[in-house]
Amino acid sequence: MTEIRFYRASGEFGFLSNLYRSELFFEGRFFPHSEAAYQFAKPKDPKVAEWIVTAPKPHLCAAIAHSLLAFDIRPEWNDIKVARMRNVVHAKFIQSSTLKKKLLDTGDAVLIEDSKTDAFWGVGKKGDGKNMLGGILMEVREIIRKDTGAVHDAS
């Protein structure tokens, strides 16, 4: 089975990263990239949420959100974060015909977020992490494939 590894928002498969700049409309507002749409729901304080999404670069948005202290984070965050990521990623790819085509063009490849620092969304330092983002991308790819009736080459 073919694997596609991605991590940064650059290179041939950089579009798979949440740090890839692609505006999306989600929950009634525009976000500059999917990382901002995802992280917007993490803080308890709406002012902090607004501050996070105004970061000048996508990786800074992620860094700010990752540095929040426990008392700044919504208590239900761990219960909702995977569903939110799934919804954000789905919105990203259905709203852009270019990104939708690129995702479908990955065929049946296993998509792997090759993060050495995140064993939840990526594979982590040891390579045996959950790869939740890769899994969500593959789920979204299959949903889009079914919704559009797209045919793919399984070779």
List per-residue pLDDT tens for the chain, 155 residues long. 899 999 999 999 999 999 999 999 999 999 999 999 999 999 999 999 999 999 999 999 999 999 999 999 999 999 999 999 999 999 999 999 999 999 999 999 999 999 999 999 999 999 999 999 999 999 999 999 999 876 554 43
What pLDDT is attached to residue 150? 60
CA distance 4 to 134: 9
- In whole angstroms, give the CA distance from residue 126 to residue 2: 20
**Taking a C-beta distance cutoff of 8 angstroms, is the pair 61, 48 a contact?**
no
pLDDT at 125: 96
Q: Where are the domains of the chain?
A: 3-148
19-39 residues labelled b (16+ CB within 10 A) or e (exposed): bbebebebeeeebbbbbbbbb
C-beta separation of 119 from 71 below 8 A: no
3-class state of residue 30 by DSSP: strand
Instruction: Please choose, from the candidates 136, 96, 101, the residue with its C-alpha nearest in 3D space to the C-alpha of residue 6.
Output: 136
Q: What's the distance, Cα to Cα, between the start and end of the chain in Å?
A: 9
pLDDT at 155: 38
Which fold is adopted by the domain 3-148? Answer: Tetracycline Repressor; domain 2 (1.10.357)
Smallest Cα–Cα separation from 16: which of 3, 7, 24, 26?
A: 7
